Amino acid sequence: MPTFAKDHVIILPHAEDYRDSYTISLAEVLATLNEPELHEGLSNERYTAEKTIRKRRIYLYYYQTVPLQAQPHERYAIIDFVGFSDA
């Protein structure tokens, strides 16, 4: 599973609104993305990642993309949804 640097993560505006309203930090998003407890690829080319941080289970839905002039294994994550539930 690839890891994503902070500058390789794009959070779409509606997902950013969820992240902001749920007070999920960018560090928590990166931890969920890079060190998930559960990671699945879905048939619609979207991925999910889940991780429990403190007393919340954080959920991410994202797409992976590769830039045209990428280095080997360089990928971007485009986050489409950020959510949580109480753990």
Residue 32 lies in a domain: yes
Residue 1 lies in a domain: no
Residue 76 lies in a domain: yes
Residue 36 lies in a domain: yes
Q: Tell me, what amino acid is at 84?
A: F
Per-residue pLDDT of the chain (87 residues; tens, 9 = 90+): 678 889 899 999 999 999 999 999 999 999 999 999 998 887 778 999 999 999 999 999 999 988 777 676 778 999 999 999 997
Rg over CA atoms, the chain: 12
- Predicted confidence at residue 3, as pLDDT, reads 84
- Predicted confidence at residue 74, as pLDDT, reads 78
Global model pTM greater than 0.85: yes
Number of domains in the chain: 1
- Predicted confidence at residue 22, as pLDDT, reads 95
- Predicted confidence at residue 69, as pLDDT, reads 75
CATH number for position 67 = 3.30.2310
Residue 44 lies in a domain: yes
User: In which domain, by residue range, is 74 found?
Assistant: 6-86
| Sheet architecture: strand order including 47-53 | 9-11, 76-86, 56-65, 47-53, 38-41
